[in-house]
Structure 1
Amino acid sequence: MRELLIDGRRIADDTPCFVIAEIGHNHQGSVERAQELFVLAKQCGVDAVKLQKRDNRRLYTRELYDSPYENENSFGPTYGAHREALELDRAAYVELQACARELGLAFFATAFDEPSADLLAELDVPAFKIASGDLTNTPLLRHVAALGRPLVVSTGGATLDDVDRAVETVTDAGGTLCLLQCTAAYPAAVEELNLGVITTFRERYPELVIGLSDHQDGIAMAPVAYMLGARVVEKHFTLSHTAKGTDHAFSLMPEGMRKLVRDLRRVPSAIGDGVKRPLPSEERPLGKMGKKLVASRALEAGHVLADGDLVAKSPADGGLPPYALDELLGRSLRRALSEDEAILAADVAPVAHPAESTTAI
């Protein structure tokens, strides 16, 4: 049975969708802004908030770290300075972890390198996120898996061989994981979401919870993913589409996130139990729209019913349904009917050969 536990929350085929608000660095290096995002995410109904943790000196080559980075989204003159301006330290993580705990939200982060993973482990986060860019980073996967928490692994840009390798690496190290179908484009075009991979993953890895890291700038595709079997949805979250930074434009603002969570929560109820049956709410509309058989004109007692004697008319408030017409033709009336009067089963003589009848009238 595919099942995963994150911060005490059970995620499985028979559970609602586990929704992660991906804050990333949309806090712009501000603890206060991150806290505001946490509060709003809670109000939207998400299950978890997630950040991104990097040890920038460890992560980037010196050349990239020191390279000029001057553009409208830059927080520093070099790429390293830009990344450091956005990075939250251990004290900030402790403060934000406490904030999330008070709000009742699961709190974890993407670990981009081993030192970041170790820091998060020291904070006892309930899970780790692995970004698409590290799906082939087996040393990092092995290191994080050994830390004893579940991994939520994105698969953007991957082949099935890449995914197989990652799954094998994590499981061989004693770890558990959830796979997210992901298109590593920001934003991702609807035509590139390839949601059918969710089905592929479910069939290929029957023991794994499958989800979607959704970089599309709308809310309609996540419920489709749930219908296909995704039980984790990660969606970027921001206060403003126009804020400084590359992620804000395709992130959901609070109203969008609220609607996304609302729609995901509705899907199981909308699916129902699969038993086709009339519902109480349908009785009145169908009583008005439905039809019964009535006399097309005044008919005398003893009249043998023929084509044109009976017609289907609304409302369906008694009498025989239109599908009984074939069973009535050729039978005689026991009483007279006025025009538009409904015909009842008792109004006709018994059929000559009851065994040949298919309708109980």
Structure 2
Amino acid sequence: MKREMTIAGVRIADDTDVFVIAEIGHNHQGDLEICKRMFDTAKEAGATSVKLQKRQNKSMFTKAMYEEKYNSENAYADTYGEHREALEFDLHQYMELKAYAEQIGIIFFSTAFDFESADFLREIDLPCFKIASGDLTNTPLLEYIAEMGKPMILSTGGASMEDVQRAYDTVRPYTDNFCILQCTAGYPPAWEELDLGVIATYREAFPDVVIGLSSHDSGIAMPIAAYPLGMRVVEKHFTLNRAWKGTDQAFSLEPVGMTKLVRDLKRVRIAMGDGVKRQHSSELKPLFKMAKKIVFNRDLPAGHKVTREDLAFKVPNDGIPPYRVGEFIGGTLKSEVTEDQTVLPELFI
């Protein structure tokens, strides 16, 4: 059964590198030029893609929540709705960002938080849709986007297995070109809440779908640990400065961290190998100094019947290995031998 997907011509499967999403979200602070700089640095770090978030705030939030006072240190306006609006890019800005991403050669897409945003992103013709954890149970939105025929990436923070199965069953009739991400919707979550083992659970439950990780923890260790479990898409929040204002900044990766993550994910793919145990050329010289051969433990005359006490195991490793010692015990020497002489079959009658 095929477990692969394609986003903007990039194939993602068990035998590929990880598709790395630099999740900018609203870490750009509503500044188009900062966002472009983030595209540049994500590209330089080796990320496969950059991602934003799109909301039609007035229709998505209740009027009470939209007009609610927002007193957070991370606020960009006095009310929550105005705060969210300050962080949104319009159609012209999205088109400019799309052109810029194409110019520098990085895949650009966005999360659609509502029907209007899905239409907005379809009009721009971005190559993929991300579904946030909060919309995993929003089957009308899932179906609406799935019908558009674009690749989809579904986060599963806060979900039960029943919720994930329902989302799969909603999307699968339309496409197999989607991915399910294990996610814990804490910002950041405690280590014991990451549940990386769920990646293996998802792979068993959904054998025809690529599985990944939306990693809200700080640092790069958890995606590295997740690769051997079968993760092939990873989303990490990304910023230029963790000290900037914003709820996501503190646990986001800066450019150095993203560079190391991409580097280490490529290394771990190579390091996994093909599962075949073999000796490599790099091991020959060290083993010459470490492994042992069978030698005679003392001077012995011709005609001597060799005992175990007559044999020893010594370095260098340029003779017969110790596991073959039983072949020589009880054998009769053809001629005299000396201490430390290498044991060879031709020395025996």
- Please give the TM-score of this superposition, normalised by the length of structure 1: 0.93
Q: What are the residue-to-residue correspondences of 1:152-163 with 2, within 5 Å?
A: 152-163=153-164
Q: Which runs of 5+ in 1 are unaligned?
A: 350-361
1:338 aligned residue: 338
- 1:301-320 C-alpha deviation (Å, 9 max, x unpaired): 22111132111011112x32
Match of 2:40 in 1: 39
Alpha-carbon separation, structure 1, partners of 2:103 and 2:46: 15
Shift of 1:267: 2.1
Counterpart of 1:29 in structure 2 is 30
CA drift at 1:119: 0.8
Query: Would you say the 8 A contact 2:5–2:176 is kept in 1?
Result: no
Partner SS, residue 68 of structure 1? coil
Shift of 1:105: 1.0
Q: 1:139, 1:247 → 2: CA distance?
A: 28
Q: In the TM superposition, what whole-angstrom CA distance separates every residue of 1:101-137 from its partner, at most 9, and x where no partner exists? A: 1121111000011111111101100010000001111
Per the TM alignment, residue 224 of structure 1 is displaced from its structure 2 partner at its CA by: 2.2
SS state at 1:5 partner = strand
Aligned pairs (5 A) from 1:1-361: 1-173=2-174, 176-317=177-318, 319-349=319-349
Q: CA deviation at 1:159?
A: 0.9
C-alpha distance in structure 2 between counterparts of 1:18 and 1:274, whole Å: 23
1:179, distance to aligned residue in structure 2 (A): 0.7
Query: 1 CA distance for matches of 2:44 and 2:33?
Result: 17
Shift of 1:84: 1.1
Q: TM-score, normalised by structure 2?
A: 0.97
Structure 2 unaligned residues grouped into runs of 5+: none
* Distance in structure 1 (CA, Å) of the matches to 2:95 and 2:247: 26
User: 2: CA distance between counterparts of 1:295 and 1:170?
Assistant: 72
What is the aligned length? 348
Shift of 1:71: 2.2
User: How many Å apart are 1:232 and its aligned residue?
Assistant: 0.7
User: Residues 225-255 of structure 1, C-alpha deviation per residue, up to 9 Å, x if partnerless?
Assistant: 2211121111110111111111011111111
How far off is 1:338 after superposition?
1.6
Contact 1:331–1:348 (8 Å) recurs in 2: yes
Percent of aligned positions with the same letter in both sequences? 56
2:328 maps to a residue whose letter is L
2 CA distance for matches of 1:329 and 1:207? 57
CA RMSD across the alignment: 1.3
Q: Which amino acid aligns with 1:32?
A: E
Worse-superposed segment, 34-43 or 136-145: 136-145
Structure 1 residues 141-163: Cα deviation after superposition (integer angstroms, max 9, x where no partner)? 12211222111110011111111
The range that moved more, 115-124 or 173-182, is 173-182
Taking the aligned partners of 1:218 and 1:238, their CA distance within structure 2 comes to 13
Q: Answer yes or no: is the 8 Å Cα contact 1:320–1:345 preserved in 2.
A: no
Q: Secondary structure at the match of 1:308?
A: helix
